[in-house]
Amino acid sequence: MIEGRYFALPLESVYHLPTWETTVNTGIEVAVNLATATVYSLLERAGLAPEEVSQITSATLIPAVPSIDARLMNHIQ
């Protein structure tokens, strides 16, 4: 069940569109931060340590190199 929505940029930015680079970079930053917080919450609920996770799989429309998954793995330690 979807319990909320998250926006990387203020809604007012629709009237003053940022550059594509700003949009993508902000999206990557927000996605990694949100995913990191979610993973830590799930690890705590499952009683697992980050070292016990060997794979994270995700789906995203954000064009990121390295991928969101790779960035996430680097944040979780």
In a domain, 7, yes or no: no
Find the domain containing 45 and state its range: 19-75
Q: If pLDDT is split at 50, 70 and 90, which confidence band does 3 have?
A: confident
Q: What are phi and psi of 73, to 5 degrees?
A: -60, -35
Digit-coded pLDDT (tens) for 24-57: 899 899 999 999 999 999 999 999 999 998 888 8
In a domain, 54, yes or no: yes
pTM of the complete model: 0.78
Q: Count of domains in the chain? A: 1
13 residue type, one letter: S
Q: Please choose, from the candidates 64, 66, 61, the residue with its C-alpha nearest in 3D space to the C-alpha of residue 21.
A: 64
Determine contact, residues 26/9, Cβ cutoff 8 Å: yes
In a domain, 69, yes or no: yes
In a domain, 5, yes or no: no
- Say yes or no to pLDDT of 6 above 80: no
In a domain, 46, yes or no: yes
41 residue type, one letter: S
In a domain, 11, yes or no: no
In a domain, 8, yes or no: no
Peptide bond into 50 cis (omega under 30): no
